[in-house]
Structure formats: structure tokens, C-alpha cells
Amino acid sequence: MRKRYFSLAVAGVLAFLSAGCINRQLANDMPQPPSIDGYQLADAGLGGQLYDDWPRVVHTRLSEQNPLYPRRGEFHVTNTYRCKSCHGWDFSGNQWSAGDGGEAHRVRGRSQVRELPPGQLYQTIARGPAGHAFGDYLTRQEVWALVRFIREELIDPSKVIAADGRVAGDAAKGRALYEQRCADCHGSDGRGIDLRRKDGVQGVGWRVAGNPVVALHRVRWGRSSKMHYTGRMRGGKPSGRADLQLSDQQILDILAYCSELPKR
């Protein structure tokens, strides 16, 4: 009788352990719902602004130069932490830099980085080596926004901006769009806002002629404080995609027209 009870007990334990393994395997195989600040709910528009100048967006001041920055003593300390400073305005790092302001980026470019799985890219951004552990400054939501922007919203500038800076857009269509969406602030000649505040008024014509890749990025995603994403924009530049509901081709058309405007 004791042997029978012992056998039944052993069988029960084995069945319990077996069921636990099966349930654990099923749990591992089941797709997990995204977290509230995860990849699927991330705001790529916020990611575009963070890529441009995350210290400005999150109101962070940095006192020491980024140890990973490839050059020394040429930029303001904060600029050495901006994504664009190492990876390039054109997102290609050391691969392509036409129209990119002449900066000598020396890091991996777009083709390698954007193919990383979302979780791996998140860890690379948030928990990298000293100088790249941006999770110390950004919330999880903000890091996921960067991940989604990099994976889904990059434009290969070499396909829309020629080596001489010409933009692949229709200037005639761009003029109509500019007059409807842009002229109220930037003026009919593009000089309503001084973008440099040095050596006379330098408006959108100057920006597009001098650095069309920067112009493309900032017209697409704007540039403002974090308040922009709470519906209370404060002194920022609106996003052509999010605020003005423009397509990328329409933005290229506007840039093509702006390249014809006065440079000063």
C-alpha cells in the first residue's frame, strides 16, 4: 500500500512539473502585448526631434564632453551628445555626408543600425557604454521614440538630394504649399524668421542652400521643447509631418521652392 501511495505521489509530482514546463513554454511562445511606452506606441515624431537635439527637448545641461565623440574641442559640450553629431544629419554616419555641413562623422551608419531588432536598438541607445547610456537622461518612452524613428522614418538623402544640394521636388507645387502653410511665419521671401541671427537676416533660402539635409529633417519634424507634444507648443518650430499634415514629397516640393528664395 505504501509503495502504491509513493508511486502515485511521484507520478503527481512529475505531472505537475511537466505541466509547469509546458505552460512555461506556451508563455514564452505567446506574443507579449507592448508596454505603454513600448515600440508599437512610440511617437516617431518625438524621436525625430530627440535625434536632432535631445538635450534641448528634455531640458538637460551637460558639463563634460562626450568621451565617444570622435573629435575634440570643436563643438559645444552639449553638441557632442546629440545623435546627429556622430551619426550625421543624413543618418549615414561615415558613409555619406553630401549637404551635411562638412562634419566628419566616424560611426556606423544607417544600413547597419536600422536593421537591429527594436529591443536590441533600445538597449544600444539606453544602456550603451559611457557617453551612450542615454537611458540616464531619457525616459523609456523617449528612448522608444528614438528607436521607432530610426527604424521607420529615415529617408536616404542621397535619393532625394543631389551631391550639389539640389532637392528632388517640384518647385511650382512647393510655391503653392509654401504660400499656404509657411509664408505667414517665414514671409513671402523666406526671410520672416532669422535662422542664424548673424551677418544679416538668413532665412529658409539660406538654410536650404547651405544645408538641405538639415532643412529636410527640421521641416519634417520641427524643433521645439517637450511641451510641443502635450499640445502646448511653446516657441518651437512646427513639424511638417505632425502639425501641417504634409507628405514627404510635399515637403521636398517646398524645399525645392525655398532653394529659389533669397539667401540673405
Write down the domain spans for the chain.
39-157, 160-258
Question: What dihedral do alpha carbons 29, 34, 38, 42 form, nearest 10°?
Answer: 130
CATH class of 39-157: mainly alpha
Assigned C-alpha cell, 257: 521652392
Report how far Cα 63 is from the mean position of its chain's Cα atoms: 23
Q: Which of 133, 127, 125, 137 is nearest to 62 (CA)?
A: 137
φ and ψ of 179, to 5 deg: -65, -30
Between CA 203 and CA 147 the distance in angstroms is 32
Sign of torsion over alpha carbons 157, 88, 173, 248:
positive
Return the pLDDT at 261.
94
pLDDT tens digits, one per residue of 51-100: 999 999 998 989 888 888 876 656 688 888 998 888 887 667 666 444 44
Return the pLDDT at 264.
77
The one-letter amino acid code at 167 reads: V
pLDDT tens digits, one per residue of 123-165: 999 998 888 999 999 999 999 999 999 999 988 888 899 988 8
**160-258 and 39-157 share a CATH fold:** yes
Long-range contacts of 59-64 (CB under 8 A, 24+ apart): 59/225, 59/226, 60/137
Return the pLDDT at 26.
32
pTM value? Answer: 0.77
107 pLDDT band, cuts 50/70/90, is low
pLDDT at 17 over 70: no
- Quick one: fold of 160-258? Cytochrome Bc1 Complex; Chain D, domain 2 (1.10.760)
pLDDT tens digits, one per residue of 176-209: 999 999 999 899 999 888 877 667 677 899 999 9
DSSP 159: G
pLDDT at 33 over 90: no
Strand partners, 167: 161
pLDDT tens digits, one per residue of 205-257: 999 998 899 899 999 999 864 433 333 333 568 899 988 999 999 999 999 99
